[in-house]
Chains A and B, each alone.
Chain A
Amino acid sequence: MSSNIPDDLQYTKTHEWIRIEGDEATIGVTDYAQHSLGDVVFTELPEVGTRYDAEARFGTIESVKAASEIYLPVAGTVIAVNSDLDAEPELINEDSYGDGWLIKIKVTPGVGALMSADAYSRYLEGLEN
């Protein structure tokens, strides 16, 4: 199985992506993650204003089959939540790097372990072998 891994994002071992622009960042789950989850039917995301340490659990994505925890790649405070997912959780399957984004945060110092697209691609190859 080949996954879509955009070059301009950074990635985690728990299959989140992050796009850092200045001191703000958008976070979602990768194509690999949405494919592994299957049909997403439910999301549980934090309130705007919630503050998290790097690598903290900030929400849950549920498919028919299972619940999966999602982790924040870097420390920060939530400044926006994708409210479209309440009515259309399938956006995560359809467009995990676009309309299926999860939250935006204001980044605070305390960076977690991030991978480039190349490094994430090699990591996925390792998982599959």
Chain B
Amino acid sequence: MTTSAPLKRTPLFERHVALGARVVEFGGWEMPVQYSGIISEHQAVRNAAGLFDISHMGEIEVRGPGALAFLQHICTQDVAAIGVGMANYSLLCHPDGGIVDDVFVYHLPGYYLVVVNASNAAKDFAWMREHAHGFDAELTDTSDATAMLALQGPAAEGILARAAGADAAALPFHGVATATLLGDIPAIVAHTGYTGEDGFELFVDNAGAVRLWDELLALGDDAGLKPCGLGARDSLRFEACLPLYGHEIADDINPYQAKLGWAVKLDKGADFVGRDALAQAKQAGVASKLAGFEMIDRGIARGGYAICDADGQPIGVVTTGMPAPTLGKNLGLGLVPAALAAEGSEVFVLVRERPLRARVVKTPFYKPRYKK
């Protein structure tokens, strides 16, 4: 991405620098990619807990009598089925069925909070406003005032109980509630995440972010809590096969190709942007779809590498690939012809001009361990 705008910093930027993080540009932000190292941070989340600054994520509040009707109009998910105090994953689609973004919709008392990807925040907000005409709904972009931390891993619940009380930590899976953290920091606590482990996401005003970060790290120290960067966030979500915008999902990829048909509720009882195209796509079937593969030959697939058939003809593209830290294998996700997306199919990944053998395997590579 090229941009002339200066990079944004989260309220925790100075903390990241002080912790020795390597800082990179991501989605228009200066973000920590790693502190101690991606592998050790990854393992901390799988075995204990990790704390992520994800304040770059965008937050959009939707209020008013027409809030639900509006969200039903733009979301593929059935937002009416998200009760107060609950949240769900949804897609926003173009009229042609391509994916605008993936979002999380949190239903709080009196309003909805929609969390969008950092790199898409401005695009999504504009897109939502454009589709809000005719609905009695008020949209507010609170991204710049809101910090977001993710506390993830099997020890997250115990650490959160010490910071927020047992009630907040006992939220059901995908539950959300307001809470007071550390005695006086107003927050929204959600039992959601992007790592394949159990965990929580915490929303606070920027002013409370530094103290919350410092005190959570101190509270979780004896439980093995580590600060974690975007590198581990990516390797964790990759093992659990959670999609990343710009990789597994994009404007020219539809939900059925991305194996996200479960998030498209064609029969939710409300029309929505992209519904006609998606109904057709579902019926017609897709020519190409996402598959997970394991490298057989020695080598690592990376996003953007070509996937070829045995004759060397290009048939697809790797969306994400890396050595999976928990599984100890070189794995990848990629778009391939639907006929080759079945487990056991053999394909070739072009690594520095050399075709290397790979075999399609079951996804997710790592089965998420959520406490439900």
| Contact yes or no, A65 B33, CB < 8 A | yes
Q: Which of A13-21, A37-45, A99-107, A119-127 contacts B (4 or more CB under 8 A)?
A: A37-45
Residues of A within 8 A of B40 (CB): 39
CB pair B37–A65 under 8 Å, yes or no, is: no
Give Cα A71 to B33, complex, Å. Answer: 25
Q: How large is the interface on B (under 10, 10 to 19, 20 to 34, 35 or more residues)?
A: 10 to 19
The distance in angstroms between the C-alpha atoms of A65 and B24, with both chains bound, is 12
Q: With CB as the reference atom, state the residue of chain A lying closest to B40.
A: A39
- What B residues does A44 contact at CB under 8 A? 299, 352
Q: How large is the interface on A (under 10, 10 to 19, 20 to 34, 35 or more residues)?
A: 10 to 19
The secondary structure that dominates the B interface is mixed
A88 to B24, CA, bound (A): 27
Docked-complex contact A65 and B322, CB < 8 angstroms? yes
* CB of A33, distance to nearest CB on chain B (Å): 13
In chain B, what residue has the closest Cβ to A62?
A: B300
B38 touches A65 (CB 8 A): yes
- Contacts of B42 on A, CB cut-off 8 Å? 64
A-B contact count (CB 8 A): 41
B39 near A: Cβ within 8 Å?
A: yes
CB distance B352 to A64 under 8 Å?
no
CA distance A36 to B330 in the complex (A): 21
Q: Does A87 contact B (CB under 8 A)?
A: no
Would you call A42 and B231 a contact (CB within 8 A)?
no
> Which residue of A35, A42, A60, A63 contacts B38 across the interface (Cβ within 8 Å)?
A63
A38-B22, A39-B39, A42-B323 as given contacts; A65 in contact with B300, CB under 8 Å: no
Extra contacts besides A39-B37, A64-B231 (10): CB < 8 Å: A42-B300, A44-B299, A60-B352, A62-B300, A62-B323, A64-B38, A64-B39, A64-B42, A65-B38, A65-B322
8 contacts between A and B (CB under 8 A): A36-B22, A42-B299, A42-B323, A44-B352, A64-B235, A64-B322, A65-B231, A67-B300
